[in-house]
Amino acid sequence: MAHPATTTRLRRELLVKTAEALRAGDLPGRVDRFPLELRPRGETALRCCVHRERAVLRYRAMALLGFSVQDEEDELRPLAHYARDAQARTSRDPRLLTVIEEACSACVRAAYFVSNACRGCAAQSCAVACPKQAITVRDGQSAIDPARCVNCGKCKDVCAFNAILRIPIPCEEACPVQAIVRGPSGKQEIRHDLCIACGKCMQACPFGAVAEQSEVVEVLGALAEGRPLVALFAPALAAQFQAPLEHLVGALRRLGFAGTVEVAAGADLAAQAERRELEEAPFLTSSCCPAYTGLVASRLPALAPRVSTTPTPLAFAAKLAAQRFPGLPRVFLSPCVAKRREALGGSVEHVLTFEELGAALVAWGIEVDACPPSPADIPATDRGRAFAAAGGVAAAVGADAEVLCGLGAETQRRLRLYASGKGPARFLEVMACEGGCIAGPCTLADPKVARRRIPAAPDRDPGRPV
């Protein structure tokens, strides 16, 4: 397992406490004490004080209960009330991410800064290169006038000593669609009309200020009460654990799932359909990543006619599950946030992320490698399982292909080339996450380690990390 940052460890500790309380059937009775238990007096605070840390944990618990922090109307309303509302909830909020203002540091506008590595060289290359005369040299040190600077970066490019640094806003830098912006309060806000739920901002924020609105109450509450659910698990899940796939299926059964379906079985069907579709088209792009298809819909409409109309592997697997287990709610075990958006279309009833599943296994005291092996009720082939890693879709379709990973500026430039009809390949696989689904924002294992655990994964990651 990768070594998580401190903010990630706290998030996972809160997840485990929530899962333990759900298993015990006493979430409302326990949840208000979680911030105090995780940040007791006397511990070194990550932020200004323990009280702010507890406030951040309270709002993170609110998101974990499935609520948007921005909807809060009464700061004194106990978390227990939110927990009871969550247990009675019958619909899902389409806003999948929320910003915890108490955690956001209100980062200043991205800017260039002259560090003390500046030598005040006679060439004054930085000042000469600046098109806005924003740089002056005083007392042997360059200085940038922020009022004149237009953030072109030319000074940084020419500095012989690498003395000029660019100070970014991490969440804004990571977002491929400019959906997270500085609000009137100076804190970041999410434009839900633009957001494609890629989760990049959540991964990038070093303050842990972006949280997803979870469904753990619905899913783990049902498991704790013995209500039957069907687990549809993403191909990337097996790569999160050292134990063989059959032991993971055994762990899901011990957790209480009445049925288990490999979404890789849906990937096998999707690959067959895309091969047939490609026979009739001069060029096609993959459709399995909802963050990518969301990007196309919002920013690259010229490419939309070339996106495969084949349903996603999850959609295929959901139909298989409905046929095999009629009437039972389906839960997709997901490496990412974007699949929550796909699930809103009705393919499955709930989504549980890998992190949330990991917390449930801890709370239930289940060791995956110690569970008796069990086959999935609907199994898959290694080719379908390879969809988890970059290049897996292209290999399964078996066409002249190019693979793009990440949705940044370079990928978008490449996509515009294909939209203009000048792309070199007949099939284009695009994944929002560098390395594929094994690197999703809600995964547990180091992507490099996970890739080695994927059967039939391409020998080399062909993606373009951007």
Query: Are both 330 and 399 inside the same structural domain?
Result: yes
* Residues contacting 249, CB < 8 A, separation 6+: 260, 373, 374, 375, 376
Mean pLDDT of the chain, nearest integer: 93
- The region of weakest confidence among 365-369, 427-431, 453-457 is 453-457
Confidence of residue 146 (pLDDT cuts 50, 70, 90): confident
Q: How far apart are the first and last CA of the chain?
A: 24
Q: Would you say residue 94 has pLDDT above 50? A: yes
User: Which residue(s) pair with 92 in the sheet?
Assistant: none
Q: Report pLDDT digits (tens) over 274-329.
A: 999 999 999 999 999 999 999 999 999 999 999 999 999 999 999 999 999 999 99
Same domain, 183 and 223: no
Asked, for residue 234, whether it belongs to a domain, the answer is yes
CATH number, residue 365: 3.40.50
Question: Is the predicted pLDDT of residue 85 greater than 90, yes or no?
Answer: yes
Model pTM score: 0.91
Asked if residue 134 and residue 12 are part of one domain, the reply reads no
Print the domain residue range for 355: 217-452
Same domain membership, residue 344 and residue 203: no
What pLDDT score does 458 carry?
Answer: 63
Shared domain check, 277 and 134? no
270: tokens are 């999707």
Q: Is the pLDDT of residue 222 over 60?
A: yes
Longest dimension (CA), the chain: 78
Do 315 and 412 fall within a single domain? Answer: yes
Cα–Cα–Cα angle for 62, 67, 73, nearest 5°?
A: 85
Number of structural domains the chain divides into:
3
457 domain residue, yes or no: no
* Residues 119 and 132 grouped into a single domain: yes
35: domain CATH number?
Answer: 3.30.70.20
pLDDT tens-digit series, residues 36-73: 999 998 877 777 889 999 999 999 999 999 999 999 99
Mean pLDDT of 111-124: 92
Q: Is residue 1 a part of any domain in this protein?
A: no
